[in-house]
Chain A
Amino acid sequence: MTTTQTRSWYKRNEIAITPWLFLLPGLFFFAMYVIIPIFQSFWISLYEWNGLGKLSEEGEWVGLGNYERLLGGDRKFETSFWNNLKWLVLYLLAIPMGLGISLFLNQQVRGIRLYKSLFFFPFVISQVVVGLVFSWFYLPREGLLNAILSWFGSDGVNILGDPATATYGIIAAGLWPQTAYCMILYLTGLNSVDPEQVEAARLDGAKGHRMLWHVILPQLKPATFIAFVVTIIGALRSFDLISVMTNGGPFGSTRVLSFYMFEESLSEYGFQMGYGAAIAVILFLIMLVFIGYFLWSMYQDEKGAR
Chain B
Amino acid sequence: MNSMLKASVAALALGVASTSAFADGHALSGDLRIVSDMSNPAPRAVMEGLVADFGAANPDLNIELEIVDREAWKTQIRNALTANAPDVVNWYAANRMGPYVEAGLFEDVSDMYEDGSLPGLEAVKGAMTLDGAQWGVPYTYYQWGIYYREDIFNELGLTEPATMDEEMANCQVIIDSGRACYAIGTKFLWTAGGWFDYMNMRTNGFDFHMELARGEVAWNDPRVLETFANWRALIDMGAFIDDHQSYSWQEALQPMLDGEATAYLIGNFAVPHLREAGLTDDQIDFYQFPTIADVPQGEDAPTDTFHIPSNATNKDNARAFLAFVASADVQTEINAGAALGQLPVNAGSSVDADEFLEQGFEMLSTNAQGGVAQFFDRDFPAEMASAGMEGLQEFMVFPDNLDDIIERLEETRQRVYE
* Chain A contact residues, CB within 8 Å of chain B: 50-53, 58, 75, 139-141, 158, 160-161, 246-247, 249-252, 263, 266-272
- Alpha-carbon distance A267/B74, docked complex (angstroms): 8
A sample of 8 more A-B contacts (CB under 8 A), given A251-B397, A272-B383, is: A53-B104, A141-B243, A158-B243, A247-B187, A263-B386, A267-B386, A268-B75, A271-B382
- Alpha-carbon distance A50/B382, docked complex (angstroms): 11
- Alpha-carbon distance A50/B75, docked complex (angstroms): 13
**Given A52-B78, A140-B246, A160-B246, A250 and B382 contact (CB-CB distance below 8 Å):** no
Binary A-proximity of B63-81 (CB < 8 A = 1, otherwise 0): 0000000000011001001
Interface locus among B47-55, B327-335, B336-344, B387-395: B387-395
- Alpha-carbon distance A252/B386, docked complex (angstroms): 11
B104: chain A residues within 8 A (beta carbon): 53
**7 closest cross-chain pairs (CB), A and B:** A52-B103, A269-B386, A251-B394, A140-B243, A269-B382, A161-B246, A268-B74
Within 8 A of A (CB), among B245-292: 245-246
B243: chain A residues within 8 A (beta carbon): 140-141, 158, 161
Pair A51/B246 contact, Cβ less than 8 Å = no
- Alpha-carbon distance A41/B100, docked complex (angstroms): 23
* Chain B contact residues, CB within 8 Å of chain A: 74-75, 78, 81-82, 99-100, 102-105, 187-189, 242-243, 245-246, 377, 382-383, 385-386, 390-391, 393-394, 397, 408
Pair A249/B189 contact, Cβ less than 8 Å = yes
Pair B377/A269 contact, Cβ less than 8 Å = yes
**Given A52-B82, A52-B100, A268-B75, A251 and B393 contact (CB-CB distance below 8 Å):** yes
A251's contact among B99, B382, B391, by CB below 8 Å, is which? B391
Q: Can you offer 15 A-B residue contacts whose CB atoms are under 8 A?
A: A50-B102, A50-B103, A52-B82, A52-B100, A52-B105, A140-B246, A158-B246, A161-B243, A247-B187, A247-B188, A249-B245, A251-B390, A268-B386, A270-B386, A272-B383
- Alpha-carbon distance A246/B189, docked complex (angstroms): 11
B386: chain A residues within 8 A (beta carbon): 263, 267-270
Q: Taking the nearest CB of chain A, how far is it from the CB of B413, in angstroms? A: 15
- Alpha-carbon distance A252/B103, docked complex (angstroms): 29
Chain B CB count within 10 A is highest, among A58, A160, A249, A263, for A249
B397: chain A residues within 8 A (beta carbon): 161, 250-251
Chain A CB count within 10 A is highest, among B82, B189, B385, for B189
B383: chain A residues within 8 A (beta carbon): 269, 271-272
Q: What secondary structure prevails in chain B residues at the interface with A?
A: helix
**Given A158-B246, A271-B383, A52 and B75 contact (CB-CB distance below 8 Å):** no
Chain A CB count within 10 A is highest, among B102, B243, B246, B377, for B246
Query: Chain B residue with minimal CB distance to A142?
Result: B254
- Alpha-carbon distance A50/B383, docked complex (angstroms): 11
Pair B394/A51 contact, Cβ less than 8 Å = no
A251: chain B residues within 8 A (beta carbon): 245, 390-391, 393-394, 397
- Alpha-carbon distance A177/B408, docked complex (angstroms): 37
Chain A CB count within 10 A is highest, among B81, B103, B245, B394, for B245
B187: chain A residues within 8 A (beta carbon): 246-247, 249
Chain B CB count within 10 A is highest, among A52, A250, A270, for A250
- Alpha-carbon distance A270/B385, docked complex (angstroms): 10
A52: chain B residues within 8 A (beta carbon): 78, 81-82, 99-100, 102-103, 105
Q: Taking the nearest CB of chain A, how far is it from the CB of B120, in angstroms? A: 32
A272: chain B residues within 8 A (beta carbon): 383
Chain B CB count within 10 A is highest, among A140, A263, A268, A269, for A269
- Alpha-carbon distance A246/B397, docked complex (angstroms): 15
B246: chain A residues within 8 A (beta carbon): 139-140, 158, 160-161, 250
- Alpha-carbon distance A54/B75, docked complex (angstroms): 18
A271: chain B residues within 8 A (beta carbon): 99, 382-383
- Alpha-carbon distance A263/B385, docked complex (angstroms): 13
Q: Taking the nearest CB of chain B, how far is it from the CB of A63, in angstroms? A: 17
B393's contact among A140, A141, A158, A249, by CB below 8 Å, is which? A249
B382: chain A residues within 8 A (beta carbon): 268-271
Query: Chain A residue with minimal CB distance to B103?
Result: A52
- Alpha-carbon distance A161/B189, docked complex (angstroms): 13
Pair A266/B394 contact, Cβ less than 8 Å = no
Pair B74/A50 contact, Cβ less than 8 Å = no
Pair A50/B99 contact, Cβ less than 8 Å = yes
Chain B CB count within 10 A is highest, among A140, A266, A268, for A268
- Alpha-carbon distance A271/B103, docked complex (angstroms): 12
Pair B385/A269 contact, Cβ less than 8 Å = yes
- Alpha-carbon distance A75/B394, docked complex (angstroms): 15
- Alpha-carbon distance A52/B394, docked complex (angstroms): 31
A270: chain B residues within 8 A (beta carbon): 382, 386
- Alpha-carbon distance A251/B388, docked complex (angstroms): 10
Query: Chain A residue with minimal CB distance to B104?
Result: A53
Q: Taking the nearest CB of chain A, how far is it from the CB of B342, in angstroms? A: 22
Query: Chain B residue with minimal CB distance to A138?
Result: B246
- Alpha-carbon distance A158/B104, docked complex (angstroms): 45
Q: Taking the nearest CB of chain A, how far is it from the CB of B170, in angstroms? A: 24
- Alpha-carbon distance A291/B102, docked complex (angstroms): 41
B385: chain A residues within 8 A (beta carbon): 269
A247: chain B residues within 8 A (beta carbon): 187-188
B393: chain A residues within 8 A (beta carbon): 249-251
Query: Chain A residue with minimal CB distance to B386?
Result: A269
Q: Taking the nearest CB of chain B, how far is it from the CB of A255, in angstroms? A: 10
Q: Taking the nearest CB of chain B, how far is it from the CB of A260, in angstroms? A: 12
B78: chain A residues within 8 A (beta carbon): 51-52
**Given A249-B189, A252-B390, A75 and B99 contact (CB-CB distance below 8 Å):** no
- Alpha-carbon distance A141/B78, docked complex (angstroms): 38
Pair A161/B245 contact, Cβ less than 8 Å = yes
Query: Chain B residue with minimal CB distance to A252?
Result: B390
- Alpha-carbon distance A251/B189, docked complex (angstroms): 9
A267: chain B residues within 8 A (beta carbon): 75, 386
